[in-house]
Amino acid sequence: MSRWRLALLAAATLGVAVPVHAQDAQSIIGRSSRVYRSLASMSADFVQVIDNPMIDSAESRGTLVQAGPAKLAMRFTEPPGEAIVIDGQYVWIYTPSTVPGQVVRLRAPSGGPVYGYNLLAWFLDRPAERYQAKYLREDRIGTRIMDVVELVPAVPDLPFERAVLWLDREDALPRRLEITEQSGALRTLSLSKLRLNRRVPDETFEFKPPAGARVVDQ
């Protein structure tokens, strides 16, 4: 008999209720995936913190907007003016705080979600194919109840060693991601004020290089 079944039997014998949410991490992350992939659009305020053992930690914040699998805009208020925009054809990266006067442009892959710069897609687009899920605990962010789930890569070549997701029990969408990258950096992305399925103007996903900036194709 498995340890989990023994634990259930012991809990039943002692009259202890086992939280239903603790029983199946795969079903929790699967529900989040289905909700995420069904969205016509999602907007949220974000705070991102990167703790890198090799350099000082960095904090940034701004607004994230996503429409479908191929369009994403992260526009930063801190550092001001920075942006990562995926317009469906190209990925535009403008980070003057680290690389002044330069815009990096990459051709976006076709046929699916644009990973790399879309952290939500990395974890919520078909997660059962990429990760082993483990339920960690129940938690709260503000007044909202979260199910905290750990994802560990089950296939090679993923750029993460481990991720912990705080998934809202009511709407199934993430409010916090803690990602341990292969470099050893810990990236925390916190989302708030989610706005779902609203009409997003086309210009949201347009990026115009600032005057004088050099566009570098990669």
Determine the pLDDT at residue 16: 39
Tell me the percentage of the chain whose pLDDT exceeds 70: 86
The string of pLDDT tens digits covering residues 46-77 is 999 999 877 778 899 999 999 987 899 999 99
Distance between CA atoms of 179 and 160, rounded to whole angstroms?
Answer: 7
Q: For residue 4, is pLDDT > 80?
A: no
Residue of higher predicted confidence among 78 and 16: 78
Determine the pLDDT at residue 56: 74
The string of pLDDT tens digits covering residues 114-159 is 556 788 988 998 899 999 999 999 999 999 999 999 999 999 888 8
**Which amino acid makes up residue 216?**
V
**Which amino acid makes up residue 130?**
R
For residues 166 and 139, is the Cβ–Cβ distance under 8 A?
yes
Tell me the pLDDT band of 101, cut-offs 50, 70 and 90: very high
Determine the pLDDT at residue 68: 84
Distance between CA atoms of 195 and 145, rounded to whole angstroms?
Answer: 18
Determine the pLDDT at residue 141: 97
**CA separation, residue 74 to residues 3, 50, 82, 135 (Å):** 44, 16, 8, 29
The string of pLDDT tens digits covering residues 142-201 is 999 999 999 999 998 888 899 999 999 999 999 999 999 988 899 999 999 999 999 999
Tell me the pLDDT band of 7, cut-offs 50, 70 and 90: very low
Tell me the pLDDT band of 17, cut-offs 50, 70 and 90: very low
**Mean pLDDT, rounded, for 4-26:** 47
pTM recorded for the entire structure: 0.84
Q: DSSP of the chain, one letter per residue?
A: --HHHHHHHHHHHHTPPPPGGGS-HHHHHHHHHHHHHH-S-EEEEEEEEEE-TTS--EEEEEEEEEETTTEEEEEEEETTT-EEEEESSEEEEE-TTTSTTEEEEEEPPSSS---SS-HHHHHHSSGGGTEEEEEEEEEEETTEEEEEEEEEE-STT-SEEEEEEEEETTT--EEEEEEEETTS-EEEEEEEEEEES----GGGG---PPTTPEEEE-
CATH numbers and ranges of domains, the chain = 21-198 (2.50.20.10)
The string of pLDDT tens digits covering residues 27-53 is 999 999 999 999 999 999 999 999 987
